[in-house]
Amino acid sequence: MNILVVDDESNIRKVLVACVETEGHRAVAVATASDALHACRRRSFDMAFVDLQLGAEKGLDLIPALLAESPWLKVVVITAYASIETAVESIRRGAADYLPKPFTPAQVSVLTQKVATLRALEQRVAGLQDALGDAGPQADLSTSSPAMQRAVNLARQVAPTDATVLIRGETGTGKGVLARAIHAWGPRAGKPFAVVSCPSLSAELLESELFGHVKGAFTGAVRDNPGRIAATEGGTLFLDEIGDLPLKLQPKLLRFVQDLEYERVGDQATRKADVRVIAATNADLDEAVKSGRFRQDLLYRLNVVQIDLPPLRERPEDTVALAERLLAHFKRKHGRGPSGFTPEAAEAVRAYDWPGNVRELRNVVERAGILCTEGVVDAAHLMLRPGVSTTTSIGDPVSLDRLEELHIRAVLASTKSLDEAASVLGIDSVTLWRRRKRYGI
């Protein structure tokens, strides 16, 4: 853990630093409340030892200020004047524990181990909650495709390092799944994994989401927000669809990727964070650089290791096996459903070109499992036309939702960016992102 020691007695600072560093943690020691706040603004801490009496200042007043900077911080109050009243007041102000002086190294060790366990559990829960939406066989990276095997092997090779990774591939090929696997295979697996979708927010909200903001930085900023970067300390930040990152934010992201330094919106204090960056895109970033929509220096920084994911149509040997695993998953999830595919249905799955890739396959299989409540899935349940384009015409016997989905797919295929597609469709980028999520595009 990163541990902050705040005490005006140099001997106490030295003893606490020695105790926690012996346990394998990293420590920063300061003597005043202002230095403590400055340190907390520069980097992220998991735990803080705070003396109740800091010269003329009161440690109790420092606790809320530290928690405003880092809401996850576990504050342990230390004092030579222990009493029930001060203990109760410390807890009321947000302290996690209480350590009376004089203390022994064993007592410090017990407290740090307790907090380390708690922080690990918090990060584990956050990671599990974030992963719930991705649970399922589509996260299974087993494959018979040589191209996919190369991608997975490269991911395993780069996982133990801190190298920045750029994953390229069409929408729905599993870029997010591979990014999460790289995190899980590496030494940061026990730390947070955060996902930020670049097209889903306006430039202003995206900046706040990534870097955080201070209270009053803009209209609606009624409280401090530490941001995803600070909350992902020690872990991995996944930037989905990086090609749609607003141009005005690219210099700030470049600086963070390069130096791991940034500022919150409305705050001049420079902060540091230990966060690995993985980015993904379905756009042609080289073309975006030529057209001035993406910075070349940022592309160089992101593209330390490039992993290309093949579309599902280029790995037909995987489609039926993946469809079968998906069908079994939905049968367990819903408590009922078919047990397999007829030969005709399997051939339809193999012959279809899957423009929406694994995401589209998942949706089709789930729908087929709902329509076919028992027995085996037939080709009619899939509603696919092997070898035929997914386009349709006005007046065809299809729903408005299906027409909208097909039109959005066609526009996305014919435009160079999501912004351009949104302009053609006459909607904003956030609405387009919601439509893509709705239709699994």
Q: pLDDT value at position 419?
A: 80
d(CA 346, CA 327): 12
Q: pLDDT value at position 392?
A: 53
Q: pLDDT value at position 128?
A: 63
Q: pLDDT value at position 249?
A: 95
The structural domains of the chain, with segments of one domain joined by +, span 2-119, 136-308, 312-439
d(CA 325, CA 330): 9
The CATH classification number of 2-119 equals 3.40.50.2300
The phi and psi torsions of 265 (rounded to 5 degrees) equal -65, 125
Q: Does domain 312-439 have CATH number 3.30.300.30?
A: no
d(CA 21, CA 25): 5
pLDDT tens per residue across all 441 residues of the chain? 899 999 999 999 999 999 999 989 999 999 999 999 989 888 889 999 999 888 788 888 899 889 888 888 999 998 877 677 877 888 888 999 988 888 899 999 999 999 998 888 887 776 665 555 445 555 568 889 999 999 999 999 999 999 999 999 998 899 999 999 999 999 998 889 999 999 888 888 899 999 999 888 887 777 888 899 998 999 999 999 999 999 999 999 999 999 999 999 998 889 999 999 999 999 999 999 999 999 999 999 999 999 999 999 999 999 999 999 999 888 888 778 898 999 999 999 998 989 889 888 988 898 888 888 778 999 888 888 654 444 455 666 667 877 788 788 777 766 767 788 888 898 988 888 888 888 767
The tokens describing 183, both together, are 């995190």
Q: Do 136-308 and 312-439 agree at the fold level?
A: no
| Contact predicate 307/156, CB 8 Å | no
Q: pLDDT value at position 98?
A: 86
Q: pLDDT value at position 42?
A: 83
Instruction: Identify the architecture of domain 136-308 in CATH.
Output: 3-Layer(aba) Sandwich (3.40)
